[in-house]
Amino acid sequence: MSGARPNDPVAAVVAALEAAKSLVVTAHVSPDGDASGSSLALALLLRARGKEVRLAIPMDDLGAPGVLAPFADFRSDAPLPEPDLFVCLDCATVPRLALPELRGKAGLWRTLNIDHHATNTRYGHLNYVQDDYSSTGEVVYDIAKAAGWSFDRDIAEALWVAIVTDTGRFAYSSTRPSTLRCAAELLACGVRAPWLNDELFCLADRKILAIQERALASLETWYDGKVAVIALSERDYIETGCTKSCTENFSDIPRSVRGSVLALFIYRLPGDPKTHFSIRARAPYSACALAKAFGGGGHELAAGATVEMPIDGAKAALKAMLELAFE
């Protein structure tokens, strides 16, 4: 029996999930720990309710695949059938959905949009956007609690991955008292926190260390050290054998430069004609404002965008955009 009261905003979300017999669950392109962890957790929760669930996220994009091993249970090469409900997690806009073929389905299929980004465009038939939450993982946790669903260790660990990565191990300003209460309950479900910490933050294959070396070699600073920048080319990824998931936390490299208030990670992936950048900021500067100037979005202190220009052009455009703020 659902624990959601009829007038709660979450009640409609619980009702939609309970009513659907078949669901396709996806997240944003190049999914981070929050996107992949919250998606896996919801898929496991729904399967435990007897639902037919497909996870539409490329396995090749996942960081720490051993941590998210249950993902493989939801994989299939068969074409995606139209589900009773299409669930989009941690994705602020339709063009950011993980698979190109899904971007035309949002709104065509009955769509539930669950997110925590303030820039979310509310593209679903039903939208549940909690922009004061630490992560979409914490949003999924609250939905499951409201529904009265139980957690096993796999579900708890998927949510832990979502929350701990998006809060910077509970260090970011988005961490609320309720975030820590949520984490305490997940730990009580048997979360292997030391192992997950090693897998997510401490251990790396040699190829990751190789591309990290290239990222460090690319480091430069602008405007008296206030802006720190790294860049990785398509060639860097190819020659080291790395994918985007290998560089998931590389924004921390420029962010670690003492005196920097804005950190930029600019990269181009193999076979992708576009250039991407991740932005991290320290108050009072806004990562989101800079991302929006290039058609992107995100959070106030963590955001990103994609542009149709080469890396050098993107770097020059970013530097020019920042000139008024820092000169």
Contact 66, 200 (CB under 8 A): no
Token output for 31: 């999914």
Contact 61, 91 (CB under 8 A): no
Residue 281: beta bridge partners?
262
Same domain, 114 and 69: yes
Q: What is the pTM of this model?
A: 0.88
Same domain, 41 and 76: yes
Same domain, 243 and 259: yes
Token output for 24: 């396709």
Q: Which of 199, 226, 246 lies at the terminal end of a domain, its last residue?
A: 199
What is the CATH number for 13? 3.90.1640.10
List pLDDT tens digits, range 95-119. 989 888 999 999 899 999 999 999 9
Same domain, 25 and 151: yes
Give yes or no for residue 62 having a pLDDT over 70: no
- Determine the structural domain holding residue 77 and report its residue range: 9-199
Where does the pLDDT of residue 3 fall: very low under 50, low under 70, confident under 90, or very high at 90 and above? low
Cα separation, 156 vs 135, in Å, equals 14
List pLDDT tens digits, range 248-266. 889 999 999 999 999 999 9
Same domain, 212 and 188: no
Query: Is position 101 within any domain?
Result: yes
Q: CB-based contacts of 100: which residues, under 8 Å, 6+ apart?
A: none
Q: CB-based contacts of 56: which residues, under 8 Å, 6+ apart?
A: 24, 25, 26, 80, 98, 99, 102
List pLDDT tens digits, range 218-231. 999 999 999 999 99
Q: Which of 199, 219, 238 lies at the terminal end of a domain, its last residue?
A: 199
Same domain, 184 and 211: no
DSSP code per residue over 96-150: GBSSGGGTTTBTTB-EEEEE--TT----SSEEEE-TTSS-HHHHHHHHHHHHT--
Number of domains in the chain: 2
Q: Which of 179, 199, 219 lies at the terminal end of a domain, its last residue?
A: 199
Torsional class of 181: left (φ above 0), alpha (ψ -120 to 50), beta (otherwise): alpha
| Helix, strand and coil in the chain, % to nearest 5 | 45, 15, 40
Same domain, 216 and 124: no
* Ramachandran angles phi, psi of 323, nearest 5°: -55, -45
